[in-house]
């Protein structure tokens, strides 16, 4: 994904016994005391695997005690002793969870994966015990029923509303039989979603395209060949070239390799992941997930999982989502067909006696782009050295918001490749700590995301907490003496994830529950996607796009080529994304449990909406982690929904100046600082003065 903040507390089963001396263990376990580190960052140099399990157990024990104290308080329920108290409960569990689940995505191993499986049911039960605690819900409901007389400020009122709704949506109003069924469903889902992700990681790591004949590398740039040689050596295959399914390895091969059979081999390896009738096959897993979600939604009186999820999003209903997606589909599909026809002409002109296939798209798109715009992406990479791009993102934040970035070499890291930075306001006030983890490795899942080791809370109180945030990506690695040189897509991803990070850093909320990226799924992508708009603007490129060898700023004529090509291939990009979004909605608008034949289900639906055979859905079902092991079920549409918002929002900067501080302040104060404290559309209108218009997105993508 370009992904986003995504944090799900998967949960645990029967845990192994702790060592005999509990008091000694607590003393030695870093999680059981305040960290003696700069800004209370996690002491990764001291944290050992054996610390996690006892910390989880103690965290749940303390959390239960805190919740029981709230639920059984003999004093009359008030906002302070019930709602606020719940917001502060479970701090040890949050502390260890934030470290463990960040590592399970970015630096996992067999031990972490095994512990994740043991923890999954236990943590699910812990959450259900809170959601279904009758005494606790009675107190929450009592406060909620007197909300009009409480004279709460906007943030406190939102916390009350969301806390009450979370109990209702968590099953507090269900009868005993339905509560028992909900517990069973949630426990199964916690394990199945975990299994889905682990299967995907295993399949991703298992595939390698190993080449021992240099002739098979024809067409590939030298830098791509050098990277493949390094990968092969690391795999014990010195003298050969290895390509993996990590996108920095796969996509250049698809773009440039002249050998069509090998392009097919790597692409089919990618699109058939977890669909191979082996131990890592996800067909039965996802079918069970989809069916359990139907059952779960109907326990709450909703027709489908999508109805249940969307009730809390900006979209509100599946009909609204389909309305937007179908409107965009109708605009994008004709463009994609024209693009395919253009590529077929190139094939025919070259004497190729074959029809354009899915694994040909990148190769012939590159040829068309070069012919049309005289632009070869390999010309651009030298101007996008990763540290220069990172510094460009930092400079953008400085110009917009006055933020400064100071590298910190005194902060412990969880992996040697990680960078650590401190953010400060213009006056030197500490904002937070930033971990950057940019390169792929076998221990890291694919994609890119933002996550929090600690969220912001307590704004303007004596207990103020500053955020600790990470960006985790899978960018092109350095090769030999050559630094990491990024593609345009990778540049946009870096700015995108940085936008998520700013959303977390610039949060100014009192309550942890509402701070940072704790907003509806179809609003959370606005702060990230809006940042992408600056990447290729000439004024912005002049600040960071410098040749890694000469320091020369990217030439004006090359900038013009980039801009001219900006709308190129947008039919394809939009259609493959929309196909995945529509597939997500198709699965999650199912209203009855059924035996899903996954390949047929997917194929029949995508054919029914007119997807051309030359394009696959961006994510096929069996590796669609966003919706089957992440937090985007019934929500993958959020990127295009936010695309409408970000395209419209960026117009405000185009109208007033790319680095206009007043416009930036309005965006910071009305969007970034507010977290989930108010209705997102109201926040947007306060910034922009009106609801967004879809036209800006269509124009930006060349679809209108």
Alpha carbons 444 and 464: distance in angstroms, whole number: 32
Helix (H) or strand (E) holding 625: helix 625-628
Does residue 360 sit in the same domain as residue 410?
Answer: no
Structure confidence at residue 701 (pLDDT) = 87
**Are 454 and 443 spatial neighbours (Cβ–Cβ below 8 Å)?**
no
Residue 563: which pLDDT band, with cuts at 50, 70 and 90? confident
Q: Is 357 helix (H, G, I), strand (E, B) or coil?
A: coil
Q: Are residues 399 and 457 in the same domain?
A: yes
pLDDT greater than 60 at residue 9? no
Number of domains in the chain: 4
Tell me, what CATH number does 75's domain have? Answer: 1.10.1370.40
Same domain, 483 and 453: yes
Q: Which of 583, 618, 636 is the last residue in one of the domains? A: 636
Asked whether residue 645 is assigned to any structural domain, the reply reads no
Contact indicator for 474, 484 with CB cutoff of 8 Å: no
Measured at the CA of 386, the angle between CA 385 and CA 392, to 5 degrees, comes to 95
Integer Cα distance of 56 and 148 in angstroms: 39
Residue 167: is its pLDDT beyond 50? Answer: yes
Is 655 a domain residue?
no
- Express each pLDDT in 664-701 by its tens digit: 999 999 999 999 999 999 999 999 999 998 888 988 88
- Position with higher pLDDT, 358 vs 481: 358
Residue 27's pLDDT is what? 57
433 and 466 share one domain: yes
Overall pTM surpassing 0.85 (yes/no):
yes
Cα 44 to chain centroid distance, Å, stands at 23
Categorize the per-residue pLDDT at 18 as very low, low, confident or very high, splitting at 50, 70 and 90.
Answer: very low
Contacts 24+ apart (CB under 8 A), 181-185: 181/295, 181/299, 182/128, 182/132, 182/296, 182/299, 183/124, 183/125, 183/128, 183/132, 185/292, 185/295, 185/296, 185/299
- Residue 300: which CATH number? 1.10.1370.10
* Same domain, yes or no: 321 and 453: no
Residue 255 clears pLDDT 70, i.e. is over it = yes
Backbone phi and psi for residue 515, each to the nearest 5 degrees, phi listed first: -80, 160
The answer to whether residues 154 and 215 belong to one domain is no
Dig out the tokens for 258 from the structure.
Answer: 């002249």
For tokens 């004949």, the residue is 213
pLDDT digits 0-9 by tens, 454-510:
999 999 999 999 999 999 999 999 999 999 999 999 999 999 999 999 999 999 999
- Answer yes or no: do 549 and 579 share one domain: no
Please check whether residue 178 lies inside any domain of the structure. Answer: no
Q: Is there a single domain that holds both residue 432 and residue 468?
A: yes
Bigger pLDDT: 1 vs 664: 664
Q: Final residue of a domain: which of 621, 636, 651?
A: 636
Query: Same domain, yes or no, for 304 and 255?
Result: no
Same domain, 31 and 119: yes
Residues 440 and 299 in one domain: no
**Residue 414 located in a structural domain:** yes
| Residue with token string 């209370």 | 40
In a domain, 649, yes or no: no
Angular region, 218: left φ>0, alpha ψ -120 to 50, beta rest? beta
Q: Is residue 343 part of a domain?
A: yes
Same domain, 337 and 407: no
354 within some domain = yes
List the domain range (segments joined by +) for residue 578: 283-375+570-636
pLDDT at 704: 77
Q: CA 29 to CA 23: how far, in whole Å?
A: 10
pLDDT at 73: 97
CB proximity list for 106: less than 8 A, separation 6 or greater: 414, 415, 437, 443, 444, 445, 470, 472
| pLDDT tens by residue, 115-154 | 999 999 999 999 999 999 999 999 999 999 999 999 999 9
Which sequence positions are flagged as catalytic?
Answer: 497
Chosen domain end from 620, 636, 652: 636
Would 470 be classed as within a structural domain? yes
């Amino acid at each position: 994904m370009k992904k986003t903040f995504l944090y799900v507390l998967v949960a645990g089963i029967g845990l192994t016994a702790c060592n005999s001396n509990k008091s000694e263990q607590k003393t030695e376990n870093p999680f059981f005391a305040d960290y003696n580190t700069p800004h209370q960052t996690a002491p990764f140099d001291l944290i050992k695997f054996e610390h996690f399990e006892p910390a989880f157990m103690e965290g749940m024990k303390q959390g239960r005690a805190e919740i029981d104290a709230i639920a059984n308080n003999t004093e009359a329920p008030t906002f302070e002793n019930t709602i606020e108290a719940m917001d502060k409960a479970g701090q040890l569990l949050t502390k260890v969870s934030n470290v463990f689940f960040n590592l399970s995505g970015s630096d996992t191993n067999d031990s972490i994966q095994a512990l994740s499986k043991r923890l999954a049911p236990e943590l699910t039960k812990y959450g259900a015990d809170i959601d279904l605690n009758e005494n606790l819900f009675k107190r929450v409901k009592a406060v909620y029923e007197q909300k009009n007389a409480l004279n709460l400020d906007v943030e406190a009122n939102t916390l009350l509303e969301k806390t009450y709704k979370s109990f209702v949506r968590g099953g507090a109003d269900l009868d005993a039989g339905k509560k028992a069924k909900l517990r069973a469903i949630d426990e199964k889902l916690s394990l199945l979603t975990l299994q889905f992700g682990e299967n995907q990681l295993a399949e991703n790591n298992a595939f390698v395209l190993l080449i021992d004949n240099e002739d098979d590398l024809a067409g590939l740039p030298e830098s791509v060949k050098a990277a493949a040689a390094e990968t092969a050596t690391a795999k014990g295959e010195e003298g050969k070239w290895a390509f993996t399914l990590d996108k920095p390895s796969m996509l250049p091969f698809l773009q440039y390799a002249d050998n069509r059979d090998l392009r097919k081999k790597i692409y089919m390896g990618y699109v058939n992941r977890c669909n191979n009738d082996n131990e890592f096959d996800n067909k039965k897993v996802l079918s069970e997930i989809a069916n359990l979600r139907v059952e779960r939604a109907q326990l709450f009186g909703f027709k489908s999982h999508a109805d249940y999820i969307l009730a809390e999003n900006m979209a509100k209903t599946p009909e609204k989502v389909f309305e937007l997606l179908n409107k965009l589909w109708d605009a994008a599909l004709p463009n994609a067909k024209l693009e395919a026809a253009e590529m077929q002409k190139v094939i025919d002109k070259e004497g190729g006696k074959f029809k354009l296939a899915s694994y040909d798209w990148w190769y012939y798109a590159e040829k068309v782009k070069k012919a049309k715009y005289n632009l070869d992406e390999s010309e651009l990479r030298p101007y996008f050295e990763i540290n220069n791009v990172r510094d460009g993102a930092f400079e953008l934040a400085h110009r917009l918001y006055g933020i400064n970035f100071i590298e910190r070499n005194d902060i412990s890291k969880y992996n040697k490749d990680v960078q650590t930075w401190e953010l400060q306001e213009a006056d030197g006030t500490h904002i937070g700590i930033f971990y950057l983890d940019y390169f792929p490795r076998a221990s890291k899942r694919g994609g890119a995301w933002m996550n929090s080791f600690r969220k912001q809370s307590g704004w303007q109180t004596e207990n103020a907490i500053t955020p600790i945030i990470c960006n985790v990506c899978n960018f092109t690695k350095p090769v030999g003496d050559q630094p990491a040189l990024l593609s345009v897509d990778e540049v946009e991803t870096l700015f995108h994830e940085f936008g998520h990070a700013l959303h977390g850093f610039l949060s100014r909320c009192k309550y942890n529950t509402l701070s940072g990226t704790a907003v509806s799924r179809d609003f959370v992508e606005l702060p990230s996607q809006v940042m992408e708009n600056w990447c290729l603007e000439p004024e912005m490129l002049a600040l960071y796009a410098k040749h890694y060898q000469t320091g020369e700023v990217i030439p004006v004529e090359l900038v013009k080529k980039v801009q001219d090509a900006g709308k190129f291939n947008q039919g394809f990009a939009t259609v493959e994304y929309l196909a995945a979004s529509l597939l997500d909605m198709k699965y999650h608008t199912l209203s009855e449990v059924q035996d899903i034949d996954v390949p047929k289900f997917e194929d029949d639906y995508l054919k029914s909406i007119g997807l051309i055979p030359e394009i696959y859905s961006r994510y096929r079902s069996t590796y669609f982690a966003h919706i089957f092991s992440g937090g985007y079920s019934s929500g993958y549409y959020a990127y295009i929904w936010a695309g409408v918002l970000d395209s419209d929002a960026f117009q405000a900067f185009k109208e007033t100046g790319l680095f206009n501080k007043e416009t930036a302040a309005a965006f910071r104060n009305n969007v970034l600082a507010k977290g989930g404290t108010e209705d997102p559309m109201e926040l947007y209108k306060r910034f922009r003065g009106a609801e967004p218009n879809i036209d800006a997105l269509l124009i930006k993508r060349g679809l209108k």
